[in-house]
Amino acid sequence: MRIMLSCSQCMRDGDKSYDQTQWLEEMVDDGFYKVVCPAGHNNTVVLQVDKFEVLFELALNAIVDGYYRDAVASFTASLERFYEFYVNVGCDIQGVSAPVFEAAWDSVSRQSERQLGAFVFTYVLLHGKPPALMSNRDVEFRNEVTHKGRIPTKERAIEYLLRSAPQLVEPKTQRAFAASLGARSKSLRPSRKRSERKQAWRRPA
């Protein structure tokens, strides 16, 4: 996947149209880009989105482009990285320092089931009730796609995305997207900014 970057120096100079200040770069894992624009300016660009958001976008692009197996895989990875993000924010709310969180997460980072367990109990701690989770049917579907090479249909891939991500996608967006299977929807993004999510996840007084 490639990402559109912009040159801040070209934009400040003002002698080019906005389109002329942009170019495509291959996406990198850490979100840090040290690049040279077509005009020769050095740039350091930081992608200010979380990993689960990038993977979610990859899943959507895969659906639009017709790669439904890739969409399932990218979305599954997005959901796992969302669990990590959620637990991180939950620990921060409870006053747990970053080094302590990182040491604790390292002990579960290689096993998906442990990460899911950490998410479930963090959610219970913050909300006083268990979260909505993936159904057994969708777990079986995910495993067949991931481990047995099953090739899903477009409708089943979208169904998996919508049914398995109530934490990531607002209900009204789920309905809009389900009504137009496979249509590109710019509104289908994680539901809140980080600061807003952090406030929303606090247990009501």
The residue ranges of every structural domain in the chain are: 2-46, 51-200
Report the candidate in 153, 142, 200, 144 with the shortest Cα–Cα distance to residue 181: 153
**pLDDT at position 11:** 79
What average pLDDT does the segment 166-187 reach?
A: 48
Helical H segments across 4-135, by residue range? 8-13, 51-65, 68-93, 98-106, 112-127
Taking the C-alpha atoms of residue 43 and residue 55, their distance in angstroms, rounded to an integer, is 24
Checking DSSP bridges between strand 32-36 and strand 2-6, what pairing results, if any? unpaired
Three-state secondary structure call for residue 166: coil
Higher pLDDT, 130 or 163: 130
Beta bridge partners of 4: 24
Instruction: Please report, for the chain, how many H helices and E strands are present, in that order.
Output: 9, 4
- Tell how far CA 140 is from the center of its chain: 22
**pLDDT at position 70:** 94
Cα dist. 155→63, 103, 132, 200, 203 in Å? 10, 40, 22, 32, 36
Q: 41 falls in which pLDDT band (50, 70, 90)?
A: confident
What average pLDDT does the segment 46-53 reach?
A: 82
* Reported pTM: 0.72
What average pLDDT does the segment 172-181 reach?
A: 49
Q: 17 falls in which pLDDT band (50, 70, 90)?
A: low
Q: What is the DSSP letter of 29?
A: T
- Residues whose CB is less than 8 angstroms from the CB of residue 45 and which lie 6 or more positions away in sequence, other chains included: 5, 6, 32, 33, 35
Taking the C-alpha atoms of residue 145 and residue 164, their distance in angstroms, rounded to an integer, is 15
